[in-house]
Amino acid sequence: MKILGAPRSPLFLRVFLLMLICVGVVQLMNVVLLIAVQSPAARIFTVGEVADALARGSDQTDTFSVERTSKPENFKWNPRAERLALAIATALRVDPERIQISFPLPFLQREQIYNRAGIPAPVAPASVDAARTAVVIGDFIATLRNQDGTWTVVRSSRFERWRWFVLLWLILSAAAVAPFAWTLARRLTKPIAAFAEAAERLGRDPRTAPIPIQGPAEIADAASAFNRMQGRLNRYVDDRATVVGAVAHDLRTPLMRLGLRLEAAPDKLRTSCEGDIRDMEAMVAATLSYVRDTNTALERRPLDLRSLAETVIDDLSDRGAAVSLAPGDPVVIDGNSAALKAMLGNLVGNAIKYTGSAEVSIFADRDQVRIEVEDEGPGMSPEDIERAFEPFFRGERSRNRDTGGIGLGLASARGTARAHGGDLTLRNREPCGLAATVTLPL
């Protein structure tokens, strides 16, 4: 379907362009880093500096990291380390066996294995001064075994100033790309969230407002298809309700004719048939009322739900029913007064009819209000709880309308709750009794 109005760019193209912009910004930051920052030179230390740090067991220049440990690391032999260890031993005038040194490898670089037999032994420096002027290039770890058996470990600092600069640059790059990533995520998730909210509203109220057709072409097409689906569902429900209402209405005429024809029948036959006709007329009236209530858009306005419940409770109490309302604060919601009053009267009336008493409580949470109608009866079987909201289902198995009703009360009550954006559920209480819970949005 072609969407009227200004041309809409596809969502794919928008996402693709945003991704290109993100990549371009990152690459531009990398180019700036490559041009602005000089290549880091390898750090050079003297054997004298390393020897002094080993001898003192500390370093005041913050060039090295010095610590004392009871067990040093295991270093693999290599000729460079052997030469420098001999120079450090000469500078400290100690046995070379007390000195070990190694060179940490860069990330992902494999360590080279040397054959000791093929490399000649190093020669010690001619003097202490010559040993102290030898240089150590790059990162290293040097250890000295002390007289008490412990080891002094000297490490070169791994995080030079240029590393901190690169890390800061990476953080700035991420901060530069973050707005584009946020925009991309927002554009992708906002339409999906709108569809989820619309589907939830449609499930609660089929006559809810349609989704606004806006955004990229794909989203606009999907919104238009969703709105068409909603319209077809409403027409489908309306057609079925119209058929049921018409059939129920037209049944009144043959029922009236049957009543007229029974006037000439024997008294015993006429009495029983007239009772059946009255039951059928009551069922027709209840069906018409159910169809009318479930297919009429409810006009809502602010009302105090607790005051509404008090009117229902007071009316039933005046008739001698054992019913009570738990005290609490006023709860204001947007709703249809007549529909909610009929729903409460239905639930409380069922509890009184089947158990003789009812207790009503109203609780307000952060975003919804909960109405609890509880009784002290035997409850219902799990199978009946699942089917209780089916039209014409009666938990009371007799076919007596005076004791079992017609079977539309709970279905109508749930329809009213859902028309207000809420729901109605049943559950068995412990140790006995049944609770009907209505949830409505505040």
Q: What is the pLDDT along the chain (442 residues), one digit of tens a residue?
A: 444 444 566 666 777 777 788 777 777 777 777 776 666 666 788 999 889 888 888 877 777 888 888 877 777 788 888 899 999 999 999 998 899 898 887 655 676 777 777 778 888 888 989 889 998 888 888 999 998 889 999 988 656 666 677 778 778 877 877 787 787 777 777 777 777 777 777 766 666 777 777 766 777 777 788 888 888 877 776 777 677 667 776 777 777 777 777 777 777 777 778 777 777 777 777 666 666 666 666 678 889 999 999 998 998 888 888 899 988 888 898 888 888 888 898 899 888 888 888 999 998 887 889 999 998 888 888 888 878 877 767 666 544 445 555 667 788 788 888 878 788 889 998 888 899 999 988 7
Q: How far is CA 218 from CA 45, 181, 185, 223, 227, in A?
A: 64, 21, 16, 9, 14
pLDDT of residue 76: 78
Q: C-alpha angle with apex 212: 207 to 215, nearest 5 degrees?
A: 150
Q: How far is CA 41 from CA 49, 105, 137, 168, 435, in A?
A: 19, 16, 10, 19, 78
CB 65 within 8 A of CB 143: no
CB 211 within 8 A of CB 198: yes
Using DSSP's 3-state secondary structure scheme, residue 100 falls into strand
CB 367 within 8 A of CB 441: yes
Domain borders along the chain are: 44-159, 298-441
CB 84 within 8 A of CB 122: no
Say how far apart CA 69 and CA 155 lie, in whole Å: 13
CB 153 within 8 A of CB 67: yes
Say how far apart CA 405 and CA 350 lie, in whole Å: 9
Which residues, in sequence order, are bridge partners of residue 364? 369
pLDDT of residue 2: 41
CB 331 within 8 A of CB 366: no
How many C-beta neighbours within 10 Å does residue 312 have? Answer: 22
- pTM comes to 0.47
Backbone dihedral angles phi then psi of residue 143, each to the nearest 5 degrees: -130, 150
CB 206 within 8 A of CB 233: yes
CB 313 within 8 A of CB 324: yes
Say how far apart CA 440 and CA 133 lie, in whole Å: 85
Instruction: Calculate helix-pair angle for 79-92, 47-56, nearest 10 degrees.
Output: 60
Using DSSP's 3-state secondary structure scheme, residue 137 falls into strand
Q: Which long-range contacts (CB under 8 A, 24 or more apart) does 20-23 make?
A: 21/180, 22/177, 22/180, 22/181, 22/184
Say how far apart CA 351 and CA 321 lie, in whole Å: 10
Say how far apart CA 319 and CA 298 lie, in whole Å: 29
Using DSSP's 3-state secondary structure scheme, residue 51 falls into helix
Say how far apart CA 86 and CA 60 lie, in whole Å: 25
Say how far apart CA 108 and CA 278 lie, in whole Å: 91
The CATH fold of domain 298-441: Heat Shock Protein 90 (3.30.565)
pLDDT of residue 423: 87
CA gyration radius, the chain:
43
| Both tokens assigned to 442 | 């505040």
